[in-house]
Amino acid sequence: MDFWTGIEALRAKQGARIADLLTDDTRTARLRAAAGPFVFDLSKTSITGDALNDLLALAVDVPDRRDAMFAGEKINATEGRAVLHTALRGTEPVIVDGADVMPGVRDTLDAMRAFASDVRDGTFQGQGGRITDVVNIGIGGSDLGPAMAVLALAPFHDGPRCHFVSNVDGADWADTAKTLDPATTLVIVASKTFTTIETLTNARTARDWMAESVTDPTAQFAALSTAQDKTSDFGIDPSRVFGFEDWVGGRYSVWGPIGLSLMLAIGPRNFDAFLTGARQIDDHFRTAPLAENLPVLLALAGIWHHQVCGYPTRAVLPYDNRLSRLPAYLQQLEMESNGKGVTMAGDPLQGPAGPVVWGEPGTNGQHAFYQLIHQGKTPVPCEFMVAAEGSEPLLDHHHKLLIANCLAQSEALLKGRSHAEARATIANRFEGEELERQAAHRVFEGNRPSTTLIYPRLTPEVLGGIIALYEHRVFVEGVMLDINSFDQWGVELGKELATSLGPLVDGADASDKDASTRALLEQLLEWRG
Ligand SMILES: O=P(O)(O)OC[C@H]1O[C@](O)(CO)[C@@H](O)[C@@H]1O
């Protein structure tokens, strides 16, 4: 059946009360999947067994397309590229254009390991001695992955301190640089294309900063890029350039050279564990039946909530403070991949593609935006995640509270509180009409959907697995929607216009701009003096 016809038919199957569904004792076992160190529960959604079967039927193309991706076929059709981030953590040969890519992947990983070890044990020195700090300059996929992962794996750090500069706002560089000594800092310029204006601007500023203090301004620079001619033009010695191929998308690139800062922080062995965790999920995704396949079930929950139920956003709520950058990471992964408007054939989509993805760690969000999640009129499907154990054994009483809060939120969303229940909680304080009015404000509709991902503890392996789960989820949703999840043409127009606006900020003629832009520019220029 055509996807959108199937979605239309599924709309008639909405409306079950989640609490009623959960009275079926078999539901939690059926709407739950396990893979590697993860258990994923989607029983607190309104997906019935019948609807799940229909959703699975709409995923019929997934196995073939999945196998095509892993085999190196050029499934990124608008850019004519294979999609092989899985090869960066793979072990088996993958043939692209008649050649196995794996020897190159292994050589690059070995070079990264050797360089990271040299920096970590002091064999590679800065001009003022041992490297104490690393600054990764990159943006988007060349920043979010390593920045998120370095923070997530803080308990595993035993290398130099890592910093991340991404924004072209000079404040980002300035605030970071003032904590650093150029003579003992390694600067990594991370840019797949090595043309991104933010990254090159920050990298040039960093080079000038180095030049003020050390003899050789680029001797402590490394580059991560597919464009090795451009890294040489910048002045970075090829021995410190870690290349990758165009079949690695920016937002899928943390597994290879773009992960160098992570490898420097946690060491090659832990980085290998990170890759292993992702590979476990790759194996699961390739072999588990669709109905037990964790990324597939994540995707089906996504399709159910966005395309069937029409909920416009989805919240990612890790009860894991060190995953505080995960929502931002997933925003790029999901919204740059599936924020599309046309099918593979270029026809307008008949409905929405990816939802708005947002979130913050719990419990912080509870004291901020959960009010809307509980009582706002538009349901927000919530994706909770929590570890059985925290990484701070001496603070286990904190972790118990974290677990309790995570489970309490999904329970509250599910159960809600009726008017009668609300009234009972305040009947000793109010009466008559005032009691009714006060109670109305304390009603929770309930029946709000959520899913929960649990794992034993946040380790490199588990983090690798979480990212891979979401990568494959995005892929499955993309296949079902018949969109290209691997291009990002939507970012181009703004880049072009920024280039044309540059001279206007210097006072050039703005007459070809629209009236609003002209007026804003005029005021800004007046204030700039
Ligand atoms: O690594 P690069 O080429 O500097 O690109 C950075 C980011 O910019 C984008 O191209 C979007 O502008 C992302 O897809 C990418 O991750």
- Calculate what percentage of the chain has a pLDDT beyond 70: 100
CATH 3.40.50.10490 fits 3-71+273-361+456-483, yes or no: yes
Classified as helix, coil or strand, 217 is coil
Classified as helix, coil or strand, 186 is strand
Distance 189 CA to ligand 1 centre (A): 13
* Backbone phi, psi, residue 402, to 5°: -60, -45
Check whether 1 has a pLDDT greater than 90.
no
Report pLDDT digits (tens) over 349-379: 999 999 999 999 999 999 999 999 999 999 9
- Per-residue tokens: 307: 């395309």
Fold of the domain built from segment(s) 85-266: Rossmann fold (3.40.50)
Check whether 159 has a pLDDT greater than 90.
yes
HEC profile for 286-298? HHCCHHHCHHHHH
For ligand 1, mutation pick of 83, 142, 224, 493 (most atoms within 8 Å of CB): 142
Check whether 55 has a pLDDT greater than 90.
yes
Average pLDDT over residues 102-131: 98
Whether ipTM exceeds 0.90: yes
- Per-residue tokens: 269: 């062995």
403 touches 360 (CB < 8 A): no
At residue 386, what is the residue type? V
Distance 269 CA to ligand 1 centre (A): 28
For ligand 1, mutation pick of 474, 491, 493, 497 (most atoms within 8 Å of CB): 491
Residue 251 CA: which ligand 1 atom is closest?
A: 16
Check whether 446 has a pLDDT greater than 90.
yes
Check whether 525 has a pLDDT greater than 90.
yes
